[in-house]
Structure 1
Amino acid sequence: MSLALRLTGAEVLRPGGRKAGPLSFAEGRIVEDRPGLREVDLRSYMILPGIVDIHGDGFERHLAPRRGAMKDLSLGLRAAEAEIAAGGITTAVLAQFYSWEGGMRGPEFAERVFAAIGALRDQVASTLLTQLRFEIPMLEDYGAVADMVARHGIGYVVFNDHLPHDELEKGKRPKRLTGQALRIGRNPEKHLEFMQGLHARMGEVPAALDGLIEALVARGVRLGSHDDKTASERETWRARGVGIAEFPETAEAVEAAHLGGDAVIMGAPNVVRGGSHNGNASAAEAVMMGYVDALASDYHYPSLRRAAFLLADGGVCDLATAWGLISAGPARVLGLTDRGTILPGQRADLVVMEPKSRAICATLSGGRVSYMSGDVAARFVG
């Protein structure tokens, strides 16, 4: 049920910064101040726009907390949604692999995940969107991917290539191949043969990509490339109509994407850790240069709010700008014009936070409670 309330006493993070004053919402939308609504006193708290997570695969650990423990995906997705809401995320893009790696990253599992998300979507307050992460060497699956996108209404596709081409080209056995094969129940030699076959046909990929991209663009699907390493890689993707650079690995690729007018997404864990865990470009430095449009949770949902405050506390940018990288910025990249800021007419996607501890005390998505605890919960029901 969507609430109709007037929140008073709190500092509210609006586009121009933090300002004290009442905040009213009704029928799922923020409205001009409306004194007649039931009031909730939130003095000593802060209200911020709901977080929009543009790419997160942290839900995987809820689907399979142990190997093989993934019979009922709906239970795992409900647990993931609870974590998402507790993290202040009101709109979450759940990123699912479609990969030659098989198992939880294989096509069959992707079908199950997208079906389960579709079934759950109307039962939870959080907005759950989907992203398909497609491994481009899988030439035999291009038609199946287009069909999957259409059937499940997937609005965002990202192109990956994690095949170890250098090792395969040299005839070497890729690292971790045996463990990877056994984990998905495949004979290691058959798995190697499969990977070699994919590598051998890479020359056919560009033409196949052009056809798939044309079909996806016609459906209005947003398209991104993953882990660009060079400016020329990004320019090639841009020429194909792929305008989102997701986690570019080098400063060169980040700069090329930004200067070319592409949307740049970096990982919030990169900011929290003080750099990439595998030596890639620094997200904080890219933010400082003004090159980043959005931060994503990647594999860790709590990193989003932590990253925003680390950037603000460190003087990289002010809090409104930093929080915009996890709210208005990703909403803009996704074309979601109705969220990301606290303004009349926008969705009532709100986070109530205790300023000193920065603990999230309540999350409302479209005016519906998705998470609430402690003193704030008492104030709402009191």
Structure 2
Amino acid sequence: MSALCLTLTGAEVLRPEGVSVEPLGISDGVITDTPTGREVDLSGFMVLPGIVDVHGDGFERHLAPRRGAMKDLGEGLTAAEAELGANGITTATLAQFYSWEGGMRGPEFAERVFTSIASLRARVATDLRPQFRFEVAMLDDYAAVAEMIARHDIGYVVFNDHLPHEALDKGKRPPRLHGQALRIGRNPEKHLEFIQGLHAAMGEVPAALDRLSAELVARGVRLGSHDDRRADQRRAGRARGVAIAEFPETIEAAEEARAGGDAVIMGAPNVVRGNSHNGNASAIELVAMGLVDALASDYHYPSLKRAAFLLADGGLLDLAGAWGLVSTGPARILGLSDRGALRAGLRADLVVLEAGSRKVAATMAAGRISYMSGEAAARFIG
């Protein structure tokens, strides 16, 4: 797939210095500071940096739209990549579980997903990057996890703990246990016994996490925590080298992250809804407090673009600041200094929007088209 050589003219272009209508050159997959190649008149359109999604699991519905319906994960990921392009996303972090929950979140499925991502990456325009979401209660799997992360060269690992500790502490059957067990083909009583055992051994987790974190940090892997509620949880993570706080559930946790220099990621759907779907901290409130470095698609890819414009239209941030939460900010968190802004020498990652409707009209990653439609397509094709 070859990169284009073009000069885009007439559009409102969001550069680091602000919006301008100066031409934007693209050559050999990067942005140039001089016109080059064929001119494409994009009057009536906006050109913004391509969206960098730092955490998303919306691809799951393409892998198994119904139980057992998708056997070829490559086809499912190809369909997911088309959706990413249609939503202006040029770099996508695909968040895959390695969890006691089994099924699509189990170790065997994780292996298949990471293998499929690796085989597909070179054949699509969107930069697909795996994220490893590890359920820390799985003490017997720590060695296998370290090996899998190394073998697939995964650069971003997030620690999760979704065990229903409150119910287990009280000796109760966790909600939804029966359906969850049947969905993954496990006897409900055996499943309950299994998670009770994981819960009982949680006292051994901190030491195991210390060892695993040290190994991963030494390899240059970025580490994140998920759903921190308390300041002490964030401090404990930071002490292990876990410098990214995904979706902190309280202002207290977000403030501790900011005080310690950690990156804070919130969900774009939280912004679009106006609040968290489960009563946690409001992303809009945290943005207003200056506590958010990036927004992530979480479970809904269209929310990234919409959230940025909601923040800008509401006057909470200017357009550059709001769009930076879905471009520059997440690129910085992922250590991708070659993208996130429309500046000479950076990757030609961009999204073209209809100026009036703000509908995605075209998406380009490293100078390669991943999505194009309507009038914008007619102008590009000439």
Letter of the structure 2 residue corresponding to residue 5 of structure 1: L
Aligned position for 2:262: 262
Aligned position for 1:197: 197
Letter of the structure 2 residue corresponding to residue 12 of structure 1: V
Write the distance in 2 (CA, Å) between the matches of 1:210 and 1:145: 14
Aligned-CA RMSD value: 0.7
Q: Does 1:30 align with 2:27?
A: no
Q: Does 1:161 align with 2:158?
A: no
1:237 offset after TM fit, Å?
0.6
Letter of the structure 2 residue corresponding to residue 151 of structure 1: R
Write the distance in 1 (CA, Å) between the matches of 2:294 and 2:12: 24
Letter of the structure 1 residue corresponding to residue 205 of structure 2: V
Aligned position for 1:20: 21
Deviations 1:94-135 (CA, angstroms, capped at 9, x unpaired): 000000000000000000000011110100000000100000
Aligned residues: 381
5+ long unaligned stretches in structure 1:
none
1:172 offset after TM fit, Å?
0.9
Letter of the structure 1 residue corresponding to residue 289 of structure 2: M
Aligned counterparts, 1:1-382, within 5 A? 1-34=2-35, 36-382=36-382
Write the distance in 1 (CA, Å) between the matches of 2:305 and 2:18: 16
Write the distance in 2 (CA, Å) between the matches of 1:323 and 1:85: 17
1:355 offset after TM fit, Å?
1.4
Letter of the structure 1 residue corresponding to residue 361 of structure 2: C
Write the distance in 2 (CA, Å) between the matches of 1:61 and 1:343: 35
Write the distance in 2 (CA, Å) between the matches of 1:49 and 1:284: 22
Deviations 1:193-225 (CA, angstroms, capped at 9, x unpaired): 000110111111111111101111111100000
Letter of the structure 1 residue corresponding to residue 96 of structure 2: Q
Letter of the structure 2 residue corresponding to residue 176 of structure 1: R
SS of the residue corresponding to residue 264 of structure 2 reads strand
1:251 offset after TM fit, Å?
0.9
Letter of the structure 2 residue corresponding to residue 138 of structure 1: M
1:356 offset after TM fit, Å?
1.2
Write the distance in 2 (CA, Å) between the matches of 1:94 and 1:111: 13
Deviations 1:328-348 (CA, angstroms, capped at 9, x unpaired): 000000000000000000000
Letter of the structure 2 residue corresponding to residue 282 of structure 1: S
Deviations 1:125-171 (CA, angstroms, capped at 9, x unpaired): 00000100000000000011101101111110000000011211221
1:11 offset after TM fit, Å?
0.8
1:284 offset after TM fit, Å?
0.8
SS of the residue corresponding to residue 281 of structure 1 reads coil
1:70 offset after TM fit, Å?
2.4
1:255 offset after TM fit, Å?
1.0
Deviations 1:251-300 (CA, angstroms, capped at 9, x unpaired): 11111111111000000000000000000101011111111000000000
1:238 offset after TM fit, Å?
0.7
SS of the residue corresponding to residue 326 of structure 2 reads coil
Write the distance in 1 (CA, Å) between the matches of 2:90 and 2:166: 41
TM-score (norm 1): 0.99
Report percent identity of matched pairs: 72
Write the distance in 1 (CA, Å) between the matches of 2:224 and 2:162: 15
Letter of the structure 2 residue corresponding to residue 343 of structure 1: R
SS of the residue corresponding to residue 332 of structure 1 reads helix
Deviations 1:344-376 (CA, angstroms, capped at 9, x unpaired): 000000111011111000000000001001111
Question: Runs of 4 or more off by more than 4 Å in structure 1?
Answer: none
Write the distance in 1 (CA, Å) between the matches of 2:248 and 2:316: 20
Letter of the structure 2 residue corresponding to residue 54 of structure 1: V
Letter of the structure 2 residue corresponding to residue 130 of structure 1: P
Deviations 1:225-259 (CA, angstroms, capped at 9, x unpaired): 00000111111111111000000001111111111
Write the distance in 2 (CA, Å) between the matches of 1:351 and 1:216: 34
Letter of the structure 1 residue corresponding to residue 156 of structure 2: Y
Write the distance in 1 (CA, Å) between the matches of 2:194 and 2:233: 26
1:16 offset after TM fit, Å?
2.3
